[in-house]
């Protein structure tokens, strides 16, 4: 029964993340809201958060942004502050790696 409570608590916290807007401290850009998270199943820790790309003309979407946990600098009540270099737009998924 204890494992069930831990899993339930984890997913309620993940759903709380989806209510927060992600803002890049490097350029002040609003990246959007958390769409998904990547979990390390062995440790139970969050490896990264995923923000969807913006929709543009003709309903084309730019790439998703995968933000590693290490790039998250602060959690506020309604925002998540991250530190990332400016990202170009395009198709697919952009995974930020330190030093890019």
Most confident stretch, 37-46, 81-90, 91-100: 37-46
As a whole number of angstroms, the distance between CA 65 and CA 79 comes to 16
User: pLDDT, tens digit, for every residue of 2-30?
Assistant: 444 555 555 567 788 888 999 999 989 99
Alpha-carbon span 11 to 82, nearest angstrom: 22
What number is the average pLDDT over the span 79-85? 90
Whole-model pTM? 0.70
pLDDT of 31 higher than 90: yes
Q: Would 100 be classed as within a structural domain?
A: no
3-state class of 47 per DSSP?
Answer: strand
| The two three-digit tokens of residue 81, written as one number | 């502050």
Q: How far apart are the first and last CA of the chain?
A: 44
pLDDT (tens digit, 9 = 90+) per residue, 49-71?
A: 999 877 666 666 668 899 999 99
Q: Residue 7: give its domain's CATH number.
A: 2.30.30.240
Domain of residue 67, residue span: 2-95
| Count of structural domains within the chain | 1
The three-state secondary structure class of 34 is coil
Residue 71 lies in a domain: yes
In a domain, 79, yes or no: yes
Structure tokens at 4: 């069930």
């Amino acid at each position: 029964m204890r494992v069930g409570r831990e899993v339930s608590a984890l997913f309620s916290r993940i759903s709380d993340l989806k209510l927060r807007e992600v803002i890049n401290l490097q350029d002040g850009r609003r990246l959007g809201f958390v769409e998904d998270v990547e979990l390390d199943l062995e440790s139970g820790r969050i490896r990264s958060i995923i923000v969807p790309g913006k929709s543009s003309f003709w309903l084309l979407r730019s790439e998703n942004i995968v933000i590693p946990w290490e790039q998250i600098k602060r959690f506020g009540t309604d925002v998540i502050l991250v530190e990332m270099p400016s990202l170009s737009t395009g198709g697919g998924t952009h995974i930020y790696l330190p030093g890019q």
